[in-house]
Amino acid sequence: MTPNDPTIYITTIAVAGLGLPIGVALVAVGQGWATAKAMDAIGRQPDAQGAISRTLFVALAMLESLAIYVLVIELILLFANPLLDRFVH
Amino acid sequence: MATGLEHVYPRVVLHLGPVAVRDTVTTTWLLMAVLIGFGFWFRRHLSLRPGRLQNAFEALVTALLDLVAGIGGREDRRFLPLLLTLGLYITLANVVGIVPGFHPPTRDLSTPLALAVVVFGAVHVFGVRTWGLAGYLRHYLQPWYLLPIRLIEEVSRTISLSVRLFGNIMGETVLVGILVLLTPLFLPVPVELFSLFTAVIQAYIFCVLALVYLAGATQASAEDAA
């Protein structure tokens, strides 16, 4: 690989751009599913709304952290790639 | 870096000897001063016939006690100071971005990480205080084969707690910054309003998760001991 070969930048940006939608879409499906189930449960037992929504919040936070992991890895890839100096001299 | 997005990264604003102090820290100092000053002022104005403000805070404390009872199983007032401090500080830190000239300190990973480390320490302190050192350490061995997973979980949940807050606030800051670059006048306003919602929700989530971890350390061993 020649010095200042743009391949590494193109690859990084392509991976970051294609990876974020995949990671986020799956988390979105999971969050929507969890919320729908919680709504079902509240509809069936309105008395338990407090407990259900508390649990839902905690579960959503857990799911959301997966999407945030994707975001953080993207940020590292794009702005603070530790392997970059092996490719660019 | 495109012009107009520099504020996403914390800036170094002053040097104390060899230590470079970033605007995250100075904003945090200001928020601490505001919170502590408000606390002292508020304590001197407490009365038996609560005014509007005191009513609001009493409702907040009651709601938090209900939350503790709901998650922890019983009313535990020991967690209240820590949780309320975390909640008030994180809420204030997340929404301080709407004041011109200030940017949320939580957009720097150091701030949420420090808060998460505080929670990490508090979990063990409360756990040891409740069960004694031996009793607390024993709950790691309850099914002994889960020990490695328990230990990994201790680290990973601290990281996820901090990274969640950081990622949300950083993401909002970047989003609003980019929208301001694209359409300066109208579009950022509703997004900024939505970011207020995110800010409060994230503070709530942080507190609830801290509470879940604290309750796990002080109660899970109760089931084992029983």
pLDDT in tens, B148-195: 888 898 898 899 899 999 988 888 888 888 888 888 788 888 888 888
Whole-prediction pTM = 0.83
Q: Do B164 and A71 touch (CB under 8 A)?
A: no
pLDDT of residue A35: 94
Q: Do A54 and B212 touch (CB under 8 A)?
A: no
> Minimal CA–CA distance to B27: which of B84, B110, B87?
B110
Interchain CB contact of B65 with A (< 8 Å): no
> Which of A58, A65, A69 would you mutate first to test chain B, the one with the most B CBs within 10 A?
A65
More confident residue, A2 or B204: B204
Q: Rounded to 5, what percent of chain B is helix, strand, coil?
A: 80, 5, 15
Angle at which helices B188-225 and B147-182 pack, to 10 degrees?
170
pLDDT of residue A2: 56
State the residue for tokens 């100092």: B29
Give me B215's structure tokens: 């309750």
CA A38/CA A45 separation, integer angstroms: 10
Residue pLDDT, tens place only, A23-37: 899 999 999 999 999
Residue B226 has pLDDT above 70, yes or no: no
Among the partner residues B70, B71, B164, nearest to A68 by beta-carbon distance: B164
Run of H or E including B15: strand B12-16
pLDDT of residue B181: 84
CA-based end-to-end distance of chain B: 58
Q: Do A61 and B208 touch (CB under 8 A)?
A: yes
pLDDT of residue B46: 83
Give me B195's structure tokens: 């970011």
pLDDT of residue A3: 58
pLDDT of residue B225: 44
Residue pLDDT, tens place only, A54-89: 889 888 888 888 888 888 888 888 877 777 777 766
The alpha carbon of residue A58 is apart from the nearest alpha carbon of chain B, in Å, by: 7
pLDDT of residue B88: 92
Residue A46 has pLDDT above 80, yes or no: yes
Establish, for the pair of chains A and B, how many residue pairs have beta carbons separated by less than 8 Å: 36
Share of chain A above pLDDT 90, in %: 29
Residue pLDDT, tens place only, B24-68: 888 999 999 999 999 999 888 888 888 888 888 889 998 888 888
Interchain CB contact of A54 with B (< 8 Å): yes
Residue B136 has pLDDT above 80, yes or no: yes
Average pLDDT, whole number, for chain B?
85
Report CA-CA distances (Å) from B104 to A24, A29, B13, B173, B205. Answer: 24, 30, 15, 8, 17
CA B121/CA B81 separation, integer angstroms: 15
pLDDT of residue B224: 46
Triad B162, B163, B167: Cα angle to 5°: 125
Residue B71 has pLDDT above 90, yes or no: no
Predicted confidence band of residue B222 (pLDDT cuts 50, 70, 90): very low
Q: Do B163 and A51 touch (CB under 8 A)?
A: no
> Which of B67, B205, B206, B211 would you mutate first to test chain A, the one with the most A CBs within 10 A?
B205
Residue B15: strand pairing partners: B20
- Evaluated on CA atoms B162, B164, B170, B176, the torsion sign reads negative
Q: How confident is the model over B2-25, as a mean pLDDT?
A: 78
Triad B151, B112, B146: Cα angle to 5°: 10
